[in-house]
């Protein structure tokens, strides 16, 4: 009988050691190392970062606006759906945001990233909105809900909904509009939708009815009209942001450039 040759154990031990080392390296991968490997835009700066890519915090600054504190929390249950998923929480002066960032593992070569659900809340007089050179002076509080935003790698599709409470414009004093609501979609990378005064507003308030569309460039066009025919003084004040039409309404067209 031929004696059995002893099985070599060291290749298995080396494989186990290598697998353990890789698992540890991935589990403790610093968030700073990943951010530094990304080519950030010139006007976006990383001020600090702590923790790992799975559970970490960082502070970023965009242009001359207030710093934003970001927190990332990995959801391991998403692996059952063959995806990586993080809970994202952002806070800054007059602004908060939270949502879920979804990265399908099966679509990694295409750099397909989804923001499955998110809520952005901001005071309209915060530095994030009021200081923008293309923004009309506004008051109130905005809540923007977005769903199924897909990036490949630019924003390609999704849905959005707007709820603007205590809405108003600052034109020769504050002009109140009550509550303003909006909704729309993003298709083929272009934003579209409508923004209107709520049906529940008092009849004494001016009514806003606007459409949002995006052309081939990075400009978003808002156009529509404000009905303030019940108040001649208010009509005169609103001509600062629009022009009076033959029927007495105020026609508005405003462009916002996407950074």
Q: Which contacts (CB < 8 Å, 24+ apart) does range 212-216 have?
A: 212/182, 212/184, 214/190, 215/190
How far apart are the C-alpha atoms of 29 and 35, rounded to whole Å? 11
Mean pLDDT of 115-129: 84
Q: Which tokens in the block code for residue 105?
A: 């593992």
How high is the pLDDT of residue 202?
A: 87
The residue that leads in pLDDT, 60 or 25, is: 60
Mean pLDDT of 99-108: 73
How high is the pLDDT of residue 20?
A: 59
Determine whether 42 is exposed, middle or buried from the number of CB atoms within 10 Å of its CB (0-12, 13-18, 19+).
exposed
Q: Which contacts (CB < 8 Å, 24+ apart) does range 56-61 have?
A: 56/30, 56/31, 57/31, 58/31, 58/32
Helix (H) or strand (E) holding 24: helix 10-27
The answer to whether 66 touches 92, Cβ cutoff 8 Å, is yes
Per residue in 170-198, pLDDT tens?
777 778 889 999 999 998 888 999 999 99
The residue that leads in pLDDT, 87 or 110, is: 87
* pTM score of the predicted model: 0.77
Read off the pLDDT band of 29 (50, 70, 90).
low
* 48-to-59, 74, 97, 162 alpha-carbon distances in Å: 5, 19, 19, 32
Q: Which of 220, 202, 201, 200 is nearest to 210 (CA)?
A: 220
The residue that leads in pLDDT, 143 or 116, is: 143
CB-hemisphere CA count at 13 Å for 98?
Answer: 3
- How many residues would you count in the chain? 259
Question: Could you state, in order of their start, the residue ranges of all structural domains in the chain?
Answer: 29-110, 118-259
Per DSSP, the residues of 87-138 read: EEEEEETTEEEEEEEEEEGGGGGGT-EEEEEEEEEEETTSTTTTT-TTS--E
Cross-strand pairs, 91: 69, 96
Per residue in 137-174, pLDDT tens?
788 999 999 998 888 767 788 999 999 999 988 777 77
SS3 content of the chain, % helix, strand, coil (to 5): 15, 50, 30
């Amino acid at each position: 009988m031929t004696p059995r040759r002893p099985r070599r154990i060291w290749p298995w031990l080396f494989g186990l050691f290598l697998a353990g080392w890789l698992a540890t390296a991935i589990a403790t991968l610093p968030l700073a190392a990943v951010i530094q490997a990304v080519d950030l835009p010139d006007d976006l700066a990383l001020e600090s970062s702590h923790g790992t890519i799975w559970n970490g915090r960082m502070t970023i600054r965009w242009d001359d606006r207030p710093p934003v504190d970001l927190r990332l929390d990995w959801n391991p249950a998403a692996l059952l759906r063959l995806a990586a998923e993080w809970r994202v929480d952002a806070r800054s002066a007059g602004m908060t945001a939270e949502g879920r960032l979804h990265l399908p593992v099966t679509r990694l070569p295409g750099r397909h990233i989804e923001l499955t659900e998110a809520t952005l809340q901001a005071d309209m007089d915060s530095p994030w909105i009021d200081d923008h050179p293309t923004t009309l002076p506004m008051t109130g509080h905005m809540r923007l809900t977005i769903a199924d935003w897909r990036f490949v790698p630019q924003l390609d599709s999704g849905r959005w909904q707007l709820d603007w409470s205590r809405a108003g414009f600052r034109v020769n004093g504050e002009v109140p509009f009550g509550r303003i609501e909006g909704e729309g979609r993003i298709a083929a990378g272009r934003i579209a939708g409508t923004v209107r005064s709520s049906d529940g507003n008092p009849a004494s308030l001016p009514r806003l009815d606007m459409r949002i569309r995006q052309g081939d460039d990075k400009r978003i066009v808002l156009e529509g009209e404000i009905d303030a025919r019940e108040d001649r003084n208010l009509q005169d004040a609103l001509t600062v942001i629009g022009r009076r039409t033959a029927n007495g309404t105020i026609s508005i067209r405003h462009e916002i450039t996407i950074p």
